[in-house]
Structure 1
Amino acid sequence: MSVTRTRVDRCPGVLRPWPAGDGLLVRVRLIGGRIRSSQLAALVAFAEEYGDGRVRLTGRANLQVRGLPGADGRLAPAVLGALAATGLLPSTSHDLVRNVMVSPQTGLAGGRADLRPVADELDRLLCASERLAALPGKFLFVLDDGRGDLVDHSCDLGLVALDGEGAQLRVGARWGEVVDLTAAPAALLTLADEFLDRRGSGPDAAWHVEELTADLRRAAPADPRLPEVSGPLPFGRVPGGTHVAVPDSGLDRAAVERLTSGAGELVVTPWRGVLVPGGER
């Protein structure tokens, strides 16, 4: 469908902060919500020194810090350097386009396949392509490991695991071909490259696959092995760990210390929670 834009894409990142009333707001993108405990601790320390002291969660399983100093829509150089030192800015050229949502429990419990290697390869190939840095900041990849928690989540491109070896691609609101999981990252980025060919330019350029004037690919029938929708991950004890709800006000140092105590890696979830593998929190 054709669209008429009244504004340019201003989805925030680290190098393109959002000017809020209390200072600049940055969004830190996480692949599948995964973050090392040491990185989260470093980020809240950064927020205390330069921002409002809190780390907030987004509905795309990313993190935000607000109240940061800067000028002309950019972080002050010392602030940007301190944020980069957390290890949470692996690519400056692709900061805005590393939008990859994954079933949070994948590789921890349940599901039909561990999609962490698939997500990591997708991110690696995405960042290796100079051209794909031009994807819109709102363009989203969604990977469901076959448990059905993200099968109904809107996406631009994605996949749903059918078993331990294969998955059916998602192309906007339609189904694509069935591919081997090892080939899935390259297949998704081929589609993303075609989207760039087709999206147009100027204020009417598409931000999403569903905004194209014609289908990106001919739709395929839904594979009968696709899972039913399972719904959001509940809070509390779940297979693989504990899903901790985070208030809109975010995480302060004390909350981060509770989450990171004894945990090597955490998973930020699309339901504004943090999955802590293992024991209670």
Structure 2
Amino acid sequence: MSTAAERSAREAAGALVIRTAPRPLTAPSHRTGGATHRGPFLEWQAVTTRSFDQDACPGALSVHQAADGALARVRLPGGVISGAALTALAQAATRFGAPDLELTSRGNLQIRGMTDTGAVADAVGDAGLLPSPTHERVRNIVASPLSGRSGGLADLRQVIGDLDAAIRREPVLAESSGRFWFGLDDGRGDISGLGTDVGVHALDGEQAALLLAGRDTGVRLSLDDAVRTLIDVAVRFVAVRGNAWRVGELAAPQDLLAGLPVTAEPGATWPPVIRPPVGWLTQNDGRITLGAGVRLGVLPARTAEFVGAVEAPVVITPWRSLLICDLDEGVADVALRVLAPMGLIFDENSPWLDVSACTGSPGCARSAADVRADAAAAVDATAEGHRHFVGCERGCGSPPDGQVLIAGPDGYRPRDRPS
């Protein structure tokens, strides 16, 4: 922020903001990375079923025609975006769509209600967020958001960039599903529990476990070999997938390993993490990351521009929150005092962190209710665990744990979770 902006912010900020340290992150054991065992991987044949085949997963160029207009999704590998690029997207949303940015459960951003899809695509490209038109929908990478800054066993920031570049270099992957995603867990166990199609889980600063559908395959590899191995598995998936979108839809996912040596006990899984890192987070280098919850994952464009004005790296997390990173303490203090009154959540005990929702009506024609309004109305209601409100059986954006509430003519009913 400029000096003038800081001065204005200090004069304007009157709200009391709760500063909280993150919950302690327990380093997983070197053998299983904090995992639990639920049976051998090679015996697992859980096949996901669905009632539709068309992969209409949108991108910045291949938009989706929703009930409220065209929708574009901008892929952010690892959730990483610069302040300048965030500002550019916010301005595009204001000029050519609904004046909000939607945060997705894969750490991406969406613009809804677009009136000029070409102008939005140009803005995305000009911001440096569209490096490959042919591969734009398949750059689906989630990674431990605080990796290299606080906690974890390995710094995976370079791996994110290397994997993204490798995806774009492989022509075969342009034919992959737009829903296939890669996971990079730095050992703290925040990403492996999300059940990404293929991923690595760091066991220390040099070694990692290879995962398929969130399950340890027993394959061990050097982090230096992680990108090559992940790309090889993804290419094999394209070769055998048929109309499958996800590894979990394959009858024999172990075939994707193609002779990779199994040197450890397979089958371990990790418990899902559904609450984001929120508050005043001290980095390993002494600087500050601000973790901010975003109500129902909808970030007003004006607020996004203020975040961008901090001129710091931003990470969009898979929990529909954001991190503003690498801040000196004074800048962090000013940013927090400005952004909290604008609605960003810096209190890790906020009930807003326990509620999420799909788009619902009127944005989605399938929805039976305005689920965001209903979720907001239910924020202060007593409930145990996380609640995700959805407008139909598809359950878009459902987290891997907690209660999914499906709208119907008689109100909401809970969805049964698979055992």
Tell me the TM-score normalised to structure 2 length: 0.60
Aligned partner of 2:171 in structure 1 is 130
Letter in 1 for 2:296: D
Distance 1:31 1:10 in 2: 20
Distance 2:109 2:244 in 1: 25
Task: Specify whether residues 165 and 8 from structure 1 end up closer, same or farther in structure 2 by C-alpha distance, changes over 3 A only.
Answer: same
Query: For residues 59-138 of structure 1, what are the structure 2 equivalents within 5 Å?
Result: 59-69=105-115, 75=117, 77-138=118-179
Q: Aligned-pair distance for 1:95?
A: 0.6
Distance 2:144 2:237 in 1: 24
Distance 1:58 1:193 in 2: 25
Report if aligned partners of 1:146, 1:162 keep a CA contact under 8 Å in 2. yes
Residue deviations 1:153-199 (CA, integer Å, cap 9, x gap) = 11100011111111111012432311111110000110111111211
Distance 1:232 1:221 in 2: 29
SS of the residue 1:64 aligns to: strand
Report if aligned partners of 1:146, 1:227 keep a CA contact under 8 Å in 2. no
Between stretches 170-179 and 29-38, larger displacement belongs to 170-179
Between stretches 13-22 and 39-48, larger displacement belongs to 13-22
Between stretches 30-39 and 228-237, larger displacement belongs to 228-237
Distance 2:273 2:252 in 1: 31
Residue 259 (1) aligns with residue 303 (2) = no
Aligned partner of 1:233 in structure 2 is 276
Distance 1:227 1:171 in 2: 12
Residue deviations 1:133-159 (CA, integer Å, cap 9, x gap) = 111010011111011112211110001
Between stretches 251-260 and 30-39, larger displacement belongs to 251-260
Query: Highest Rg: 1 or 2?
Result: 2
Which of 232, 240, 250 does residue 190 from structure 1 map onto? 232
Between stretches 80-89 and 126-135, larger displacement belongs to 80-89
Report if aligned partners of 2:79, 2:145 keep a CA contact under 8 Å in 1. yes
Q: Aligned-pair distance for 1:30?
A: 0.3
Residue 11 (1) aligns with residue 11 (2) = no
Residue 269 (1) aligns with residue 317 (2) = yes
SS of the residue 2:134 aligns to: coil
Aligned partner of 1:221 in structure 2 is 265
Distance 1:272 1:146 in 2: 21
Task: Specify whether residues 132 and 206 from structure 1 end up closer, same or farther in structure 2 by C-alpha distance, changes over 3 A only.
Answer: same
Task: Specify whether residues 2 and 242 from structure 1 end up closer, same or farther in structure 2 by C-alpha distance, changes over 3 A only.
Answer: closer
The alignment-based identity, stated in percent, is: 37
Higher relative contact order (CA 8 A, sep 6+): 1
Residue 48 (1) aligns with residue 86 (2) = no
Aligned partner of 1:140 in structure 2 is 181
Letter in 2 for 1:96: R
Report if aligned partners of 2:279, 2:290 keep a CA contact under 8 Å in 1. yes
Query: For residues 176-187 of structure 1, what are the structure 2 equivalents within 5 Å?
Result: 176=217, 177-187=219-229
Tell me the TM-score normalised to structure 1 length: 0.88
* Matched pairs, number: 271
Distance 2:272 2:69 in 1: 40
Structure 2: unaligned runs, 5 residues or longer: 1-46, 284-288, 337-419
Q: Aligned-pair distance for 1:231?
A: 5.9
SS of the residue 1:248 aligns to: helix
Distance 1:44 1:230 in 2: 28
Task: Specify whether residues 30 and 165 from structure 1 end up closer, same or farther in structure 2 by C-alpha distance, changes over 3 A only.
Answer: same
Q: Aligned-pair distance for 1:228?
A: 7.5
Between stretches 236-245 and 51-60, larger displacement belongs to 236-245
Distance 1:260 1:3 in 2: 41
Task: Specify whether residues 211 and 229 from structure 1 end up closer, same or farther in structure 2 by C-alpha distance, changes over 3 A only.
Answer: closer
Distance 1:6 1:253 in 2: 34
Distance 1:139 1:185 in 2: 16
Report if aligned partners of 1:55, 1:251 keep a CA contact under 8 Å in 2. yes
Q: Aligned-pair distance for 1:107?
A: 1.2
Distance 1:181 1:159 in 2: 8
Report if aligned partners of 1:110, 1:239 keep a CA contact under 8 Å in 2. no
Report if aligned partners of 2:96, 2:119 keep a CA contact under 8 Å in 1. no
Q: Aligned-pair distance for 1:2?
A: 7.6
Aligned partner of 2:352 in structure 1 is none
Q: Aligned-pair distance for 1:249?
A: 6.6
Report if aligned partners of 2:197, 2:213 keep a CA contact under 8 Å in 1. yes
Structure 1: unaligned runs, 5 residues or longer: none
